[in-house]
Amino acid sequence: MEMIIAVLVIYFLTCILIFFKQKESADNEIDYKSPFRKIITIGTIFLAIIQAPFFYYYTTGPLAFFVRLPYLAISLILTGMLLTPLIKRKKISAFQKYGIIVAVVIGTLTLFFGSSSIEKLDWELRQKERNQIIEKILRGEITDNVIKTRSFPPISNGGNEIMINTKPEGTITVTFYIDRGFIDHYSAFIYTTDTTLTKIYDERAKTYNKIKIDDNWYRIAE
């Protein structure tokens, strides 16, 4: 639901901006200090800044493609609106000129490196929050197999759902999703006391050193 609302809001704002663009274009010469250009510049910078966290937290699972594609398309359209007068060597304000540079640099960097950086920050900054959930499970305060939180941003991507697998011998495996993936694929932060799983994950960690991230904690991609 959050993804759908976000996409609809972006679409709505873009339609409004395009409408004003067409209206101004009809006047032939657009003032380089036009409020429209300032709005476009601010909007483009904003989209570039939120791109990495938006993609990481809200474009997970099979719907990721259908959310990312329009988001990128809108960003490119807005960037094109800013670049057009520059390419045609028309006068533009310093705010617009530097805004284009900032938006393109941030947008490009976050497109390629944003998700991995946000993932690392999310783990470091929210490890305590995840450990508190684990402690509640171990104390028996949480007994459900699936719990849904209202964390913002999501503590478990793809719906804030945390999966809990408890075995008769008392071991637990708790999954905080990074990406719900498609069909059988997924990636997640996993806490487990299941010795069978820890042996498998520890063996993998000998080859891929980023798998084990703390005691009983693993970053798994299946």
Write the pLDDT tens digit of every residue in 123-181.
999 999 999 999 998 888 888 888 888 888 899 988 888 999 888 888 899 999 998 87
Backbone φ and ψ for 6, nearest 5 degrees, come out as -60, -45
Domain boundaries, given as residue ranges, for the chain: 2-119, 126-221
pTM to 2 decimals? 0.78
Dihedral angle sign, alpha carbons of residues 123, 124, 129, 135: positive
Q: What is the pLDDT of residue 29?
A: 47
Percentage of the chain exceeding pLDDT 90: 18
Phi, psi (deg, nearest 5) at residue 165: -115, 110
Q: DSSP 3-state assignment of 107?
A: helix
Beta-bridged to residue 181, according to DSSP, are none
pLDDT in tens, 36-58: 778 788 888 888 998 899 888 88
What average pLDDT does the segment 25-32 reach?
49
